[in-house]
């Protein structure tokens, strides 16, 4: 072992072995067949390279990928270790030269593709030299259970019997579920005692799940904050790769792209540019990455949901192979689940396998909703015996939000499911609790359930979040399959009986729904698509049609008629005539599809925005109001919307100007509103307005809250 350490320092310049390396190398040096399971970047290559240097003779390394062989041989040659590779990429002359050198024992290591063993000639060559060790890199390829099964790997086993000598065998892989490991061991004759497995944890990686953001904005922001770093962005389709690539190169970033739709040469060039740091960022589909040993990848961002945890961990794991701190982000949006399901349906798998894929997809989705440490979640996915732990740097561990008691919500959700017969998915039940007036709900008679509308004060999206959380915490379970349904598990029973409470981390919602309320991301994306179509038709760049700001305003305020559309920034009469109706139709369709109740009162008029900075517009309105002018007239005079004038009045009141409240509402209305606020335990406008069935004006509610805040009753 001392010798091994010397080699480590002399040839590689490293002072210490990493976890697992020492045991594996020691075991090989004792001439025992060995299985080594180390995470990606764990340093598997050294595990066979160092024994190869210490043993007399030539070590044969079986490797599944041509690019991988070349990289490793290049690296070895750079450290003056004689090595070569034999595969389909070399010419006959090169082949003859190399074989002749192999026969002379000139190499310490020879990398070969698995197919090579099918040739009797090659086996004869091996029989003519001294072979102390055969290494199977990426050994999971040998197993049918593995995700990259290669029949040619498996058939090597028969060829090995044709060898006159009995070399030591070492198998190395990063993925080994119990099935795969068992398979490798029995095929290669490795004792259970000679298997070494280090933890799956990648201590230098921090995992993050990001929900509900504009993905492009996120990427832009991230890249701006991490200049000159090498990273990979994975998307789920060629189209998306192309789109993001165009977008980022237009913004001046150093990007390359890679997907199966490109010609072999283009792919090779892109890969080289990235590997050699000529391009900083690789945008790619999952076709990219196998056999890429680039060690200084600082971040891996998944633009879309991967199909399962295995794929995710492998792809994300390409960050930080050099052991430096690196980041893995997953940008979650619900639509991506639909795409993954579609891909499963398209895959022509048999029934059982398909169900298995659905199951894996569900666990991937759970990853996006769990409050458990993300690293811990992944490890427990691979090894259900391992304990929960905290990495202290993933987005779950770093989540500062307070846990709040959601027992009552949970009870409502459980009992609603029970009443619906546990035959439906997440969205429908959220809609029932929200009290949605969707046709399907009426058809099923769910609007008559006692649980209908119980959570109407919440956003549908928040209800969905809570349900997803209850799923990850095993109070509910999602069946596998194309149309998964939610079931209530026994864990929910004590909660229903009121014997146990449920806690969940939640953001505190702001008191007022402010104007800066974020835009609806889904609508924004749909409007972009629409804009792009129009732009393509007219042969102009999309921003000529409408700017992003304009689309964002539309997705915030849902303008569904001419009046409200004209109040959106960037839309004048001319633009409206050209495109207004098309966009209105799109928004209308979206609004009804998502059951969004639209009230146009939130759209600020352009005038208001323009005036705001110059002089206190609200005081002009207040002035007129205090002279006894009705609000409608003030609006007409000032060419402002009624809503705007109402807001002016409220604002003036908040600033201490005197208001004759009794002119705005009567005592009964005030009482009713205050009671409602207590009952629904929220002082957000929209929920109150909804709880009052829209019978009391937004403005009046706002005024009542304002009055009582001033008198400090609320
Ligand atoms: P794997 O095949 O397990 O994914 P590699 O063998 O390609 O990983 O090694 C990943 C990186 O770790 C390489 O850059 C390698 O030089 C480095 N490395 C391996 N062993 C050590 C060690 N003992 N000390 C420091 N760095 C190491
Ligand atoms: Mg490797
Ligand atoms: Zn963590």
pLDDT score of 133: 98
- Could you give the CA distance from residue 242 to residue 261 in angstroms, rounded to a whole number? 10
CA proximity to 134, closest of 201, 64, 51: 51
Q: What's the pLDDT score for residue 608?
A: 53
pTM (2 d.p.): 0.60
Task: Report CA(40)–ligand 2 centroid distance (Å).
Answer: 7
R_g of the chain, CA atoms, integer Å: 32
Mean pLDDT by 10 residues, the chain (714 residues): 90 87 96 94 93 97 87 86 94 96 96 93 95 95 76 88 94 83 93 91 93 85 91 95 94 95 95 91 93 86 95 93 91 85 86 90 94 94 86 91 89 92 89 89 91 88 88 87 86 92 70 50 89 84 76 88 83 84 93 76 56 62 85 85 84 79 87 83 77 85 81 57
The verdict on domain 2-197 having CATH code 3.40.50.300 is yes
Q: Which atom of ligand 1 is nearest to the CA of 40?
A: 4
Q: What residue ranges do the domains of the chain occupy?
A: 2-197, 205-382, 404-504, 521-608, 609-713
HSE-CB at 381 with a 13 A cutoff on CA atoms is: 26
CA distance 612 to 560: 25
Q: What is the CATH number that goes with domain 521-608?
A: 1.10.150.80
d(CA 67, CA 77) in angstroms, rounded, equals 15
E strand or H helix at 178, and its extent? helix 178-188
| Three-state secondary-structure class, residue 60 | strand
Q: What is the pLDDT of residue 66?
A: 83
- For residue 323, give the ligand nearest its CA: 1
Query: Which ligand ends up closest to the CA of 377?
Result: 3
Query: According to the model, what pLDDT value does residue 610 have?
Result: 44
Same fold yes or no, 2-197 and 205-382: yes
**What's the pLDDT score for residue 591?**
87
Q: How far is the CA of 24 from the centre of ligand 2 (A)?
A: 15
Q: Whose CA is nearest to atom 2 of ligand 1?
A: 44
The string of pLDDT tens digits covering residues 31-59 is 999 999 998 888 999 999 999 999 999 99
| The pLDDT of residue 370 | 93
Give the residue, out of 321, 324, 326, with the most ligand 1 atoms within 8 A of its beta carbon, to mutate for a pocket test: 321
Under 8 Å between Cβ of 603 and 568: yes
Enumerate residues lining ligand 1, CB below 6 A: 14, 17-18, 21, 38, 40-46, 293, 295, 321-322
> What is the CA angle 313-316-322, rounded to 5?
110
Q: What is the pLDDT of residue 256?
A: 97
Count of H-run helices and E-run strands, the chain: 33, 17
Q: Are 61 and 50 in contact (CB under 8 A)?
A: no
Q: What is the pLDDT of residue 277?
A: 87
- Tell me if the domain spanning 404-504 has CATH number 3.20.20.80: no
CATH number 1.10.8.50 is the correct assignment for the domain at 205-382: no
Ligand nearest to the CA of 14: 1
Q: Quick one: pLDDT at residue 61?
A: 97
Q: Tell me which residue of 500, 505, 506, 449 sits closest to 475, measured CA to CA.
A: 500
SS3 50: helix
The DSSP symbol for 281 reads E
How many Å lie between the centroid of ligand 2 and the Cα of residue 289? 12
Pair of tokens at residue 439:
């046709």
Give, using CA atoms, the residue closest to atom 13 of ligand 1. Answer: 322
């Amino acid at each position: 072992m001392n010798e091994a350490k010397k080699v480590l320092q002399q040839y590689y310049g490293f002072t210490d072995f990493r976890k697992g390396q020492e045991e594996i190398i020691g075991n090989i040096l004792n001439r025992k067949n060995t299985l080594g399971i180390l995470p990606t970047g764990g340093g598997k290559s050294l595990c066979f390279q160092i024994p190869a240097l210490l043993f007399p003779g030539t070590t044969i390394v079986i490797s599944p990928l041509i690019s991988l062989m070349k990289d490793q041989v290049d690296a070895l040659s750079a450290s003056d270790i004689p090595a070569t590779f034999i595969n389909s990429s070399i010419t006959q002359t090169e082949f003859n030269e190399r074989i002749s050198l192999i026969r002379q024992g000139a190499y310490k290591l020879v990398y070969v593709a698995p197919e090579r063993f099918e040739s009797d000639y090659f086996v004869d060559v091996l029989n003519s030299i001294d072979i102390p060790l055969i290494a199977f890199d990426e050994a999971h390829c040998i197993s049918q259970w593995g995700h990259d099964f290669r029949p040619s790997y498996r058939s090597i086993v028969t060829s090995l019997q044709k060898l006159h000598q009995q070399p030591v065998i070492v198998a190395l892989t990063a993925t080994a579920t119990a099935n795969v490991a068992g398979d490798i061991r029995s095929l290669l004759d490795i004792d259970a005692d000679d298997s070494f497995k280090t933890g799956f944890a990648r201590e230098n990686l921090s995992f993050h799940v990001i929900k509900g953001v504009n993905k492009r904005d996120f990427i832009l922001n991230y890249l701006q904050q991490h200049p000159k770093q090498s990273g990979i962005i994975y998307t789920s389709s060629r189209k998306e790769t192309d789109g993001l690539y165009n977008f980022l190169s237009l913004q001046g970033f150093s990007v390359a792209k890679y997907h199966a739709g490109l010609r072999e040469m283009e792919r090779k060039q892109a890969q080289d540019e990235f590997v050699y740091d000529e391009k900083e960022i690789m945008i790619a589909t999952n076709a990219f990455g196998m056999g890429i040993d680039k060690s200084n990848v600082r971040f891996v961002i998944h633009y879309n949901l991967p199909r399962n945890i295995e794929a995710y961990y492998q792809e994300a794991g390409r960050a930080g192979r050099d052991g430096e701190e690196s980041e893995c982000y997953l940008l979650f949006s619900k639509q991506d689940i639909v795409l993954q399901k579609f891909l499963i349906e398209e895959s022509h798998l048999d029934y059982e396998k398909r169900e298995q894929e659905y199951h894996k997809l569900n666990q991937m989705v759970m990853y996006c909703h769990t409050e458990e440490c993300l690293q811990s979640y992944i490890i427990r996915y691979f090894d259900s015996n391992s304990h929960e732990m905290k990495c202290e740097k993933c987005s779950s561990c770093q989540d500062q939000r307070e846990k709040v008691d959601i027992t009552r919500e949970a009870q409502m959700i459980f009992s609603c499911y029970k009443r619906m017969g546990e035959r439906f998915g997440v969205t429908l039940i959220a809609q029932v609790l929200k009290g949605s007036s969707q046709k399907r709900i009426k058809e099923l008679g769910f609007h008559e359930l006692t649980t209908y509308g119980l959570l109407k004060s919440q956003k549908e999206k928040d209800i969905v979040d809570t349900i997803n959380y209850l799923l990850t915490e095993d109070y509910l379970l999602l069946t596998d399959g194309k149309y998964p349904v939610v079931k209530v598990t026994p864990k929910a029973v004590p909660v229903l009986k009121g014997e146990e409470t449920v806690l969940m981390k939640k953001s505190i919602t702001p008191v007022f729904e402010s104007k800066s309320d974020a835009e609806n991301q889904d609508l924004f994306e749909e409007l972009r698509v629409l804009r792009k179509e129009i732009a393509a038709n007219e042969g102009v760049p999309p921003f000529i049609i409408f700017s992003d700001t304009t689309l964002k305003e539309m997705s915030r305020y849902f303008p569904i008629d001419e009046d409200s559309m004209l109040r959106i920034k960037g839309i004048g009469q001319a633009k409206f005539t050209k495109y207004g109706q098309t966009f209105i139709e799109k928004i209308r369709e979206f609004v009804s599809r998502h059951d969004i109740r639209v009230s146009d009162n939130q759209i600020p008029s352009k005038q208001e925005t323009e005036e705001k900075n110059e002089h206190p517009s609200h005081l002009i309105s207040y002035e007129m109001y205090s002279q006894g002018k009705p609000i409608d007239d003030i609006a007409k005079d000032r060419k402002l919307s009624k809503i705007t004038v109402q807001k002016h009045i409220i604002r003036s009141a908040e600033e201490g100007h005197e208001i004759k409240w009794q002119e705005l509402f009567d005592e009964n209305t005030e009482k009713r509103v205050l009671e409602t606020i207590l009952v629904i335990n929220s002082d957000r406008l929209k929920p109150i307005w909804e709880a009052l069935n829209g019978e009391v004006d937004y403005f009046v509610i706002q005024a009542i809250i304002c009055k009582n805040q001033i008198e400090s009753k609320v």
